[in-house]
Amino acid sequence: MTPLLTVENATVESATGRIVAPVSLTLQAGRPFTILGETGSGKSLFAQAIMGLLPVGLTASGRVIIDGQVLDLADPASHRPLWGRQVGILPQEPWLALDPTMRVARQVADGHRFIRRLEAAAAMKAAADDLTALGVAGAGRKLPGELSGGMAQRVAFAAARAGGARIIIADEPTKGLDVARRDEVIALLMKEVEAGGAVLTITHDLALARQMGGDFAVMFDGSIVEQGEADMVLSAPSHDYTKQLIAADPENWNERKVPAGKRDDIVLVAEDLAKARGGRLLFSGQGLRLHKGEIVGVTGASGSGKSSLGDILLGLLKPDAGTVARALGVAPVRYQKIYQDPPSAFPGRITIGANVSDLVHLHRLDVGRIAPLMKRLKLAPELLHRLPTEVSGGELQRFALLRVLLLDPVFLFADEPTSRLDLITQQETIELLVELAREQDCAVLIVSHDTALIEKTCDRRIEIGEKGGAEASVA
């Protein structure tokens, strides 16, 4: 095997201290390399450092050897001649990385024309060939705004390597992409590997790392804590953090099915619901009965109407047909919702504490309940003085939970409550949600794209069909 790129003792420092400890690794031709880490682990900064793309205020040290050429990481300018020629950088969120005002084929042709020095016509021809090879031949005449996420990903890939780069660095290549598109991205990257190139993937997605295979490293708090063959590390992790990370994957959760209790206390009944959007039928004939303390999961492809179903149950959205009935004599505020993106569910300019305090005053709640509940939710009291943007996503989602639990809900619709959170935080959040709902005898409807999460968490599951038929099945 031939090493295409070697990193020796790469570090990243800010004015306040070291963010990435010395990291060394080698990319082999024809072999993928994946670095796994959560938000704040320093994995993206490491990637930026070896590309010479660190933001202002951060400095790197160490060196990178490419093709016998030694580059000093402390001198980012020296990296520029390699960009596009030897190292191709696959941008995050490629639909933003393509020039919105330029036709796609011309953006791919730029590499052929200006780096490989082809004639304009020959460059356009080469670009068209690239796009055809990637299965997006028709995209060339379009503008980036007209492409789907998956198409934009492939176009960006073609543009990144048009200059002849054989080493591809991909930082979070699946960020913002539908889970179904993940396999396409992996196929794209593996194609490059099979052709004898090298691919360095930086990701937080355990499944992506597993599917890529090859060399694998886990990054935590700025250091690589474990490194080796992907299959080996993932099946027999040795470091505590890796173990914790793998255990947090919904695939590996313990089944937490609680025997179905009394089935008489119905909190919500829906019958014969139908909803269409944009002229497409999402579902029809959908019925549902929810009992107290029951945890029900909804799965289905993105755009299948999972969230719409929950919103209809809460009365936030009108169904095209069918009825929703609530239990008699229950206050409307006891039907609540947990949102996908926690910061967007709080008023942005007031502190979390002010928001909770407003709620207490409005409903004359018992102030004494807050402190113990916050403790249960592992929320420190000083967080109340912060704005929603000043706490982590996991903390804010737990505050959202606090807010609704204070109202003693009988029904809670959790719409992808953890899809923006890291694995370990996700596990923590779901555990708390389920535990507290069971204690308060509250019915929960969880929507998630992650089938494993639903199966391990819920008493039963509803599948919303993607072909528009009424394929709903109640297990």
Partner 1 sequence: MIKAILSRLLQAVLVALLVGLLTFAMAWLLPGDVAYRIAAGRYGYDLVDTAAAAKVAAELNLDQSALTGLGWWFFDLIRLDLGASLITGAPVIEAIGRHLGHTLKLSIAAILLSLLIGPPLGILAGLHPGGWLDRSLMLVSTALRALPQFVVGLGLIIIFGLTLKLLPTAGHDHGSHLILPALTLALSLAAVSNRVARDAMVAVSRAPYYAFGRTKGLSEWQVFSRHGLRNVAVPIVTYLGIQFVSLVEGVVVVETLFAWPGIGHALVHAIFGRDVPMIQGAALVMGLMFVALNALVDTLCHLIDPRRRAA
Partner 2 sequence: MTAFDYITPRPVRWPARRVSGIAILMALLAFAFLPLVLGAPDPLKQTLRLTLQPPGAADWFGYDHLGRSMYARLTAALRLSLGLASLSVITAMIPGLLLGILAAWRGGLIDRVVSGLSDTFLALPGLLLVLMLTAIVPDNAAMLYIGISLVLWVEYFRITRALARPLLNAPAVQASQLLGFGPAYIIRRHLWPEIAPMLLTIGAYGAASAIMAIAALGFVSVGVRPPTPELGSMMIELLPYYEEAPHALLQPIAVIFLLVLALQLIARKDKP
Residues near partner 2 (CB under 8 A) are 314, 316, 332-333, 335-337, 339, 341, 344-363, 367, 370, 384-385, 387, 400, 403-404, 407
Task: Count CA within 13 A, CB hemisphere, residue 103.
Answer: 12
Among 23, 27, 71, 89, binds partner 1 (CB under 8 A): 89
Compute CA 76 distance to the chain's CA centroid, rounded to the nearest angstrom: 30
Q: Closest approach of Cβ 395 to partner 2, in Å? A: 16
Q: Does 254 bind partner 1 (CB under 8 A)?
A: no
Neighbouring-strand partners of residue 71 = 64
Give the number of residues in contact with partner 1, rule: CB under 8 A: 33
- Which of left, alpha, beta for 349 (phi over 0: left; psi -120 to 50: alpha)? alpha
Q: Closest approach of Cβ 163 to partner 1, in Å? A: 4
Tokens of 126: 């080469």
Q: Does 162 bind partner 1 (CB under 8 A)?
A: yes
What is the spatial order of strands in the sheet that 295-299 belongs to?
Answer: 335-338, 411-415, 443-447, 295-299, 460-463
- Which range in 35-43, 78-86, 204-212, 432-440 contacts partner 1 by CB under 8 A? 78-86
Q: Which does 46 bind (CB under 5 to 8 A by kind): partner 1, partner 2, none?
A: none
Nearer to partner 2, 58 or 360 (CB): 360
Q: Closest approach of Cβ 96 to partner 1, in Å? A: 4
Q: Which does 358 bind (CB under 5 to 8 A by kind): partner 1, partner 2, none?
A: partner 2
Nearer to partner 2, 41 or 307 (CB): 307
Q: Which does 335 bind (CB under 5 to 8 A by kind): partner 2, partner 1, none?
A: partner 2
Rounded Cα distance between 424 and 403, Å, is 22
Q: Under rule CB under 8 A, which residues in 102-131 are in contact with partner 1? A: 102-103, 110-111, 114-115
- Which range in 155-163, 316-324, 434-442, 464-472 contacts partner 1 by CB under 8 A? 155-163
Q: Does 276 bind partner 1 (CB under 8 A)?
A: no
Among 53, 122, 301, 327, binds partner 1 (CB under 8 A): 53
Q: Which does 376 bind (CB under 5 to 8 A by kind): partner 2, partner 1, none?
A: none
Q: Does 146 bind partner 1 (CB under 8 A)?
A: yes
Q: Which amino acid appears at position 21 of this protein?
A: A
Contact call for residues 401 and 258 (beta carbons, < 8 A): no
| SS3 at position 283 | strand
Tokens of 155: 């176009």
Q: Closest approach of Cβ 203 to partner 1, in Å? A: 18
Among 100, 259, 329, 368, binds partner 1 (CB under 8 A): 100
Rounded Cα distance between 218 and 238, Å, is 11
Q: Which of 111, 225, 197, 125 is nearest to 161 (CA)?
A: 111
Tokens of 129: 């060939």
Strands 321-326 and 443-447: unpaired
Rounded Cα distance between 357 and 351, Å, is 10
Rounded Cα distance between 248 and 125, Å, is 48
Rounded Cα distance between 227 and 217, Å, is 4
Q: Which does 350 bind (CB under 5 to 8 A by kind): partner 2, partner 1, none?
A: partner 2
Neighbouring-strand partners of residue 35 = 202, 217
Q: Closest approach of Cβ 387 to partner 1, in Å? A: 24
Q: Which does 312 bind (CB under 5 to 8 A by kind): partner 1, partner 2, none?
A: none
Rounded Cα distance between 345 and 229, Å, is 42
Task: Count CA within 13 A, CB hemisphere, residue 150.
Answer: 14
Nearer to partner 2, 185 or 314 (CB): 314
Q: Does 51 bind partner 1 (CB under 8 A)?
A: yes
Residues in contact with partner 1 by CB under 8 A are 51, 53, 80, 83-85, 88-89, 91-93, 96-103, 110-111, 114-115, 142-143, 145-146, 156, 159-160, 162-163, 165
